[in-house]
Amino acid sequence: MTNGSSCSPSRPWWKDAVCYQVWPMSFKDSDADGHGDIQGIISKLDYLKDLGADVVWVSPTYKSPMKDFGYDISDWSDINPAFGTMEDMLQLIEEVHKRDMRILLDLVITHTSDQHPWFLESRTSRDNPKADWYMWENGRPGHHIYNTRTGVDDKVEQPTNWRACFGGSAWYYGEERDQHFLHLFLKEEPDLNWENPVTRKAIYEAAIGFWLDKGIDGFRIDTVNRLSKDITWQDVPTKLVGPLQSATHVYINGPRSHEFLKEMRVYMDNHPRVQESGQELMLVGELPKTPMDDVMRYVHPDSRELSMVFDFDVVDLAGHDSPDEVKAHETKNLCDGDPSYTLLLFKETIIKVQNLIAAGGWGTVFMENHDQCRSIARYATPEPQYYQKAAKLLCLMQTTLSGTEFIYQGQEIGMLDMPLHWDYDDFRDPGAKLYIDEEFQSGGPEARENARIGNLKFGRDNGRTPVQWSSGKNAGFSDADEGKCWIGVNDNCEAGVNVEDQQVDPDSIWHFWKRQVAFRKEYREVFMHGSFQCLDFDNMKTFTYVKTAADGLTALVCLNFSDEVQPITAPDEVLKSRSLEFLTGNLGQSLGREQPLAAWEGRVYLLKAPLHKAIEERLRRFPTDVHLLDEAFSKSLSI
């Protein structure tokens, strides 16, 4: 990687990378048809480079019926014409590399589209050559499960009582075979049968080998802990009202998960281009609902599985993203002041990943992606007088934590959630529509309205409104006629939430992100790799931590997550130390260190030698209830 990092077996290039996720539908439209495309991405590569991105992760642009906006793939080795051509994609790879950046593509291999030729064949009979490439099961005699969603399945005998992630049964009936196929997501996304070694090999060649040949630098691996399921197909206990039950505990981190990933990794490592270049691929997996010791098994270098994961605890906070367990409108944010979401719980999710790194694993720093709402209202405050400070506060946190950094498109200008007046017809996410339909069917208009509110708060469309490049037509995203974009444009683009206006304002959120990314690189040993110690775990208003580099350089990070003035929580020796220097903060100027933190203020100080040893000692003795890495945990790690 550029900017002074050096690669070594223990320091592969991707540890120091600042990554930027592009969700192509909403990034930049080059041909005025109202949705983004590959040429649009190419036109913004200089912008990404300027921001400080080293890696561009491009969400799926493969051939797809787009029922799940590209995560339903009907051909991994072809490009969806709506996004461009294979030549466009090859050009994108080349243009990224020309700028000394790297590119990750999405690897979606838990399921395909129901229009994938493999599935079309598999569904025709019980004895065709691909009959067992997907997970087909017989209905269990007498196991009638009324399915409010699909109608056709109504009163059909089903294999299990599992509920799909977006609602309804996880099984769908195929008449030709008189059997059901498993779909953990939409019914248009049948799950592949990873138990079959012939299928696995075919997946590796079509989805992985093809793109490694094209020169990409790694993959973001979709739903990586759902490849292996418990295939004894048991009903799960009833916890929810109604017949369908959340079964994540039986299909997440299934019995053969690690075996499959190790096998896939061997395929990647042995790929001729990887062998020839000697380059270490970057593999980042999506990993919800996994305790720390099991996360470690995925990311420990000796496991040879993944480089890192997106640990979902931070985005699942207070039950969000579990529509099957908690109704979205009942889920709280920090600003709701509800005990189900406190700063303390937030800190725990952060500390989990920092501890994972301290124990020899590696992690990611992220708060947004295309499946999440925007971070400002979720983790801080959307209040007009504070939201810019809040955006910068989160940026300060994100750029000072150890791990590989991920910025999601629009985060760098503080994009906010969709407008509150949006309703069913404005939403595009199939999961949102299924949720609202189901609530309406079971609870009538009031339940429907609650579901709408829940969707405004947490729905995936929040992260999918077009990137706001300017205050002009369609926020500069597209030259299509006004109102003709595939999803509405947030009109706050006219109130300064856009790239063009922010680039000319040195105090903008955009400039702040750019500066912070530069600091992160300049002090990479502290911010990307430094050890982490929380100083105020029990404090419900502030988050204060120190990061320490191997050579002793230390940073003190003080973040006020409240509307009130708060004292700085750090030992006097540190605050009074002559070697304490203000580095950066979200108020734009250095307030005296004796000054308390203003509402939503964040500051970062550096402690330069020579006092650091004494300070280290003092910090160790500072009274705090930090969840430091517990030794029992590290001993119990069985890789």
Name the one residue in this structure whose structure tokens are 């983004």. Answer: 36
Q: Is 147 or 223 the residue whose CB approaches ligand GLC more closely?
A: 223
Nearest approach in angstroms of CB 615 to ligand GLC is 43
Interacting residues toward ligand GLC by CB under 6 A: 68, 71, 108, 185, 222-223, 286, 370-371
Q: Is 64 or 388 the residue whose CB approaches ligand GLC more closely?
A: 64
How far apart (Å, rounded) are the C-alpha atoms in residues 571 and 556? 11
3-state secondary structure of 208: helix
Q: Is 454 or 602 the residue whose CB approaches ligand GLC more closely?
A: 454
Nearest approach in angstroms of CB 11 to ligand GLC is 29
Beta strand 18-22 with 404-408 is parallel
Nearest approach in angstroms of CB 371 to ligand GLC is 5
**Closest by Cα among 530, 538, 531, 601 to 568:** 601
Nearest approach in angstroms of CB 73 to ligand GLC is 9
CB atoms under 10 Å from CB of 329, counted, come to 19
Nearest approach in angstroms of CB 26 to ligand GLC is 13
How far apart (Å, rounded) are the C-alpha atoms in residues 331 and 374? 15
Q: Is 16 or 72 the residue whose CB approaches ligand GLC more closely?
A: 72
Q: What is the DSSP string of 81-135?
A: TTT--HHHHHHHHHHHHHTT-EEEEEE--SB--TTSHHHHHHTT-SSSTTTTSB-
Nearest approach in angstroms of CB 246 to ligand GLC is 16
**Backbone φ/ψ region at 131: left (φ over 0), alpha (ψ -120 to 50), beta:** alpha
* Edge-to-edge strand ranges of the sheet holding 218-221: 308-311, 282-287, 218-221, 102-107, 55-58, 18-22, 404-408, 364-365
Contacts of 291 (CB under 8 A, 6+ apart): none
Report how far apart, in Å, the C-alpha atoms of 586 and of each of 89, 497, 581, 589 are: 39, 17, 16, 8
Q: Is 223 or 490 the residue whose CB approaches ligand GLC more closely?
A: 223
222 part of the active site: yes
3-state secondary structure of 343: helix
b/e per residue, 588-597, with b = 16+ CB within 10 A?
A: eeeeebeeeb
For residue 270, what is the DSSP state? T
How far apart (Å, rounded) are the C-alpha atoms in residues 605 and 558? 8
Distance of CA 317 to the CA centre of its chain: 13
Nearest approach in angstroms of CB 209 to ligand GLC is 21
Catalytic residue among 68, 72, 153, 286: 286
Q: Is 162 or 512 the residue whose CB approaches ligand GLC more closely?
A: 162
Beta strand 364-365 with 404-408 is parallel
- Looking at 321-399, list the stretches that DSSP marks H as alpha helix, in order from N- to C-terminal side: 343-358, 375-379, 387-398
Nearest approach in angstroms of CB 460 to ligand GLC is 7
Nearest approach in angstroms of CB 23 to ligand GLC is 9
Nearest approach in angstroms of CB 467 to ligand GLC is 17
Q: Is 346 or 408 the residue whose CB approaches ligand GLC more closely?
A: 408
Q: Amino acid identity, residue 252?
A: I
Cis peptide before 430 (omega within 30 of 0): no
Give the DSSP H or E segment for 51.
helix 45-51
How far apart (Å, rounded) are the C-alpha atoms in residues 125 and 410? 47
For residue 596, what is the DSSP state? P
Q: Is 15 or 226 the residue whose CB approaches ligand GLC more closely?
A: 226
Q: Amino acid identity, residue 284?
A: V
Q: Is 110 or 508 the residue whose CB approaches ligand GLC more closely?
A: 110
Catalytic residue among 106, 222, 313, 368: 222
Name the burial class of residue 599, with classes exposed (0-12), middle (13-18) and buried (19+) by CB atoms within 10 angstroms of its CB: middle
Q: Is 434 or 615 the residue whose CB approaches ligand GLC more closely?
A: 434
3-state secondary structure of 374: coil
How far apart (Å, rounded) are the C-alpha atoms in residues 180 and 61? 29
- Tokens found for residue 185: 């997501």
Nearest approach in angstroms of CB 165 to ligand GLC is 7
Q: Is 16 or 371 the residue whose CB approaches ligand GLC more closely?
A: 371
Active site amino acids: 222, 286
